[in-house]
């Protein structure tokens, strides 16, 4: 019978036999799958696993540093790459969601390839692919698939010519979480909501500027922290704030102001294919709205998305 412990034991043994003294590079995203894959590989081959964590400037507030810290805490051999400016430059002026996704995918490949080249004599690419990704192999979801579908003609980047090792490719998400738990991993990493590879770039409708990212990060952090402190974070499948390029009127003393709108989204779902909006308590929504409007400069209105999927997708772009 399948148990997390038996899976861990047999997988580590298989990885040791397969990889020997070979080196592996693996891109960490902060998400559950890549993190559990990294810890398993780390148990099997130790410092021969070279992890790369890219700051694309589109992560949640303070996420880059806190995730990097927790990976280092786990003893992983990890290199953080601050590539914010490269992503912002590539995104400047782009408004079409698919163009934004492509630009992010392209820059990610360049940045990752540069970082992978710094590891001498690497022969494997580790990936956190799980079973549903294997079935849905043409999907555009997830960094690895993003790399495949968004890669331009003109030859594969070198890291994509590496042999691939995917220790989780027979598991479903809940099994991955159980494995992570049995490995003693941080519940904060294991319980994390899904977060799209293009990050906040698809939660800012229209063009991206560092200023908009900053505003959205602040609003999103207030939202997520409140979900956590109210004890509802773990009951929600995915939540996030969206920056709308819409200005509406507000009053400040005698003045009328035009400022932007933040939309809050929270859904219940099993797999992201269908989703229902969460009936968050009104008093919690009121608290979040007040905190955002009082603290985030540039926002004077907060709305809550009460649409279910289908037809409304979880993300707004
Ligand atoms: P939608 O918006 O299609 O999202 O209902 C379903 C799930 O997929 C995530 N998502 C993405 N993940 N790259 C990703 O890695 C993407 O381009 C992307 N678009 C949507 C979304 O966050 C949700 O979990």
User: With bands split at pLDDT 50, 70 and 90, how would you rate the model's confidence at 241?
Assistant: very high
- What DSSP assignment string belongs to 212-254? HHHHHHHHHHHHHHHHHHTT-GGG-SEEEEEEEEEEEEEEETT
The domain boundary, picked from 164, 190, 216, lies at: 190
203 ligand 1 Cβ < 6 A? no
Distance 18 CA to ligand 1 centre (A): 33
- 184 and 236 housed in the same domain: no
Does the beta carbon of 173 sit less than 6 angstroms from any atom of ligand 1?
Answer: no
- What average pLDDT does this structure show over 215-234? 98
How remote is the CA of residue 12 from the centroid of ligand 1, in Å? 31
Residue 148's pLDDT band (cuts 50, 70, 90): very low
The tens digit of pLDDT for each residue in 174-198 reads 999 999 999 999 998 999 999 999 9
Whether ipTM tops 0.90, in short, is: yes
The pLDDT tens digits of the residues spanning 23-58 come to 999 999 999 999 999 999 999 999 999 999 999 999
The domain spanning residue 94 has which CATH number? 3.40.50.620
CA distances from 150 to 23, 49, 154 (A): 26, 26, 12
The reported pTM is 0.91
Rounded Cα–Cα distance for residues 258 and 264 (Å): 20
pLDDT band at residue 137, thresholds of 50, 70 and 90?
Answer: low
Q: Whose CA is nearest to atom 12 of ligand 1?
A: 196
| 240 within domain boundaries | yes
Domain span at residue 168? 4-190
Are 138 and 112 within one domain?
A: yes
Based on the domain organization, do 185 and 208 belong to the same domain? Answer: no
- As a whole number, the mean pLDDT across the chain is 93
Nearest CA residue ID for atom 22, ligand 1: 196
257-291 pLDDT per residue, tens = 999 999 999 999 998 999 999 999 999 999 999 99
Which of the listed residues 135, 159, 190 is the one where a domain comes to its end? 190
Is 20 contained in some domain?
yes
The 10 Å Cβ neighbour count of residue 154 is: 6
CB atoms within 10 A of CB 114: 15
Question: How far is 262 from 105, CA to CA, in rounded Å?
Answer: 26
Residues in the annotated binding site for ATP? 29-35
Ligand 1 contact, 309 CB (< 6 A) = yes
- How many folded domains does the chain comprise? 2
* Per-residue model confidence (pLDDT) at position 135: 85
């Amino acid at each position: 019978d399948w148990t997390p412990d038996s899976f861990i034991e047999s997988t580590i043994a298989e990885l040791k036999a397969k990889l020997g003294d070979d080196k592996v590079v693996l891109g960490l995203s902060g998400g559950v799958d890549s993190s559990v894959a990294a810890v398993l590989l780390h148990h099997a081959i130790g410092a021969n696993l070279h992890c790369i964590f890219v700051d694309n400037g589109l992560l949640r507030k303070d996420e880059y540093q806190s995730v990097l810290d927790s990976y280092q805490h786990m003893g992983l051999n990890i290199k953080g790459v601050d590539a914010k400016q490269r992503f912002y430059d590539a995104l400047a002026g782009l408004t079409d969601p698919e163009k934004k996704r492509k630009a992010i995918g392209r820059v990610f490949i360049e940045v990752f390839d540069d970082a992978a080249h710094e590891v001498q004599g690497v022969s494997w690419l580790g990936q956190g692919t799980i079973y549903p990704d294997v079935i849905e192999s043409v999907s555009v979801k997830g960094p690895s698939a993003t790399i495949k579908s968004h890669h331009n003609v003109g030859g594969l980047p070198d890291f994509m010519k590496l042999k691939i090792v995917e220790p989780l490719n027979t598991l479903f998400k809940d099994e991955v979480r159980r494995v992570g738990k049995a490995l003693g991993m941080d519940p904060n990493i294991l319980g994390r909501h899904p977060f799209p590879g293009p990050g906040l770039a698809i939660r800012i409708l229209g063009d991206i500027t560092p200023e908009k990212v900053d505003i959205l990060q602040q609003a999103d952090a207030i939202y997520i922290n409140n979900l956590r402190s109210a004890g509802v974070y773990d009951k929600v499948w995915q939540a996030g704030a969206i920056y709308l390029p819409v200005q509406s009127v507000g009053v400040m003393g005698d003045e009328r102001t035009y400022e932007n709108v933040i939309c809050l989204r929270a859904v219940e779902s099993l797999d992201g294919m269908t989703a229902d909006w969460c009936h968050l308590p009104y008093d919690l929504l009121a608290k979040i709205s007040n905190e955002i409007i009082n603290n985030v400069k540039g926002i004077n209105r907060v709305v809550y998305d009460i649409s279910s999927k289908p037809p409304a997708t979880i993300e707004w772009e």
